[in-house]
Amino acid sequence: MSKGFYCFSKEINDKELKELKINGTIRNSISSLSKSIWVYTLENDHFILLNGKPFQSQQEMLRSLNLNRVRTINKYKDAGINFKGYYFFSKQMSNEEWNKLNKNIYAKPSKKAMLVWVYKDNKLIKNRPFLSMTAAGCQRPKELNLNRKLIRKYLDSNQSYNGFLIFSSQKG
C-alpha cells in the first residue's frame, strides 16, 4: 500500500479481493488519515461547518487549513475545544451534542505563552483569542500593527490603542 492505494501488477477480481481481505493482506478499515473529519468555526454564537461539508481526510484538512500536525488535531478532535479557531469532530454533530458544548473552551497555549483577546468596536478580532502576544502581533489582519511590547503595555489596561482593546481573558 502506498498513500492509501494498493498496487497490483495485474487486475484482480472480486474473489481475489475477498481472499486478500480474509488473509489480512488488504485492510478492511481505512486508516485514520483517510477518514472524514468535520471542521467547524464559531460565528455569531453558531457553529458553521467549514466548506459546507466534511474534509475527506485529515491530510486534506491539514493542507486546506495550513495546519501541521495530525497528532495535535487528534488531541482536540471530539473534545469541543477551540484550536486556532477550529473545532474538529469525527462525525456530524447533532443539535443536542452542540448544546452540550461549552463554546468558550480554548486549547491551551504553550507554557510560556498566554491567550490574548483583541477587540475593536466591541468585536473580537478573528472571533477567537490569539495563542500568544507574539501571535497577536504577527497575525492577520495586518492592520493590528501591534508588537509584543505594545500588547504588554495595553494588556488589561482598558486603554485603546488605535481602536484596539487588549485583554488576557475573555471580555464579558
- 24 located within any domain: no
- By the 8 A CB rule, do 64 and 55 touch? yes
Map 9-29 to HEC letters. CCCCCHHHHHHHHHCCCCCCC
Of all residues in the chain, the percent with pLDDT exceeding 90 is 1
Cα–Cα distance list, 87 to 47, 83, 166, 167 (Å): 9, 6, 24, 23
What are the cell numbers at 2?
A: 502506498
- 112 located within any domain: no
For 24-40, how does the pLDDT look when each residue is reduced to its tens digit (9 = 90+)?
A: 666 555 554 567 888 88
For residue 168, what is the DSSP state?
S
Q: Based on the domain organization, do 73 and 121 belong to the same domain?
A: no
Per the structure, how many domains does the chain have?
2
- 14 located within any domain: no
For 117-132, how does the pLDDT look when each residue is reduced to its tens digit (9 = 90+)?
A: 888 888 888 777 777 7
- 1 located within any domain: no
- 13 located within any domain: no
pLDDT of residue 1: 47
Choose one of 74, 100, 126: the last residue of a domain. 100
- 74 located within any domain: yes
Q: Based on the domain organization, do 92 and 126 belong to the same domain?
A: no
Q: Based on the domain organization, do 44 and 80 belong to the same domain?
A: yes
In terms of Cβ atoms closer than 10 Å to its own Cβ (0-12, 13-18, 19+), residue 44 is exposed
Rg (CA), the chain: 22
pLDDT of residue 78: 82
- By the 8 A CB rule, do 133 and 113 touch? yes
pLDDT for 43 beyond 80: no
For 51-95, how does the pLDDT look when each residue is reduced to its tens digit (9 = 90+)?
A: 888 888 888 888 888 887 777 788 878 877 778 878 888 888 877
Q: Based on the domain organization, do 46 and 79 belong to the same domain?
A: yes
**How far apart are alpha carbons 4 and 30 in whole angstroms?**
8
Q: Which residue segment(s) compose the domain that 159 sits in? A: 117-167
**How far apart are alpha carbons 161 and 150 in whole angstroms?**
8
Q: Based on the domain organization, do 39 and 93 belong to the same domain?
A: yes
Looking at the whole model, is its pTM more than 0.85?
no
pLDDT of residue 138: 64
- 64 located within any domain: yes
pLDDT of residue 104: 58
Q: Based on the domain organization, do 126 and 76 belong to the same domain?
A: no
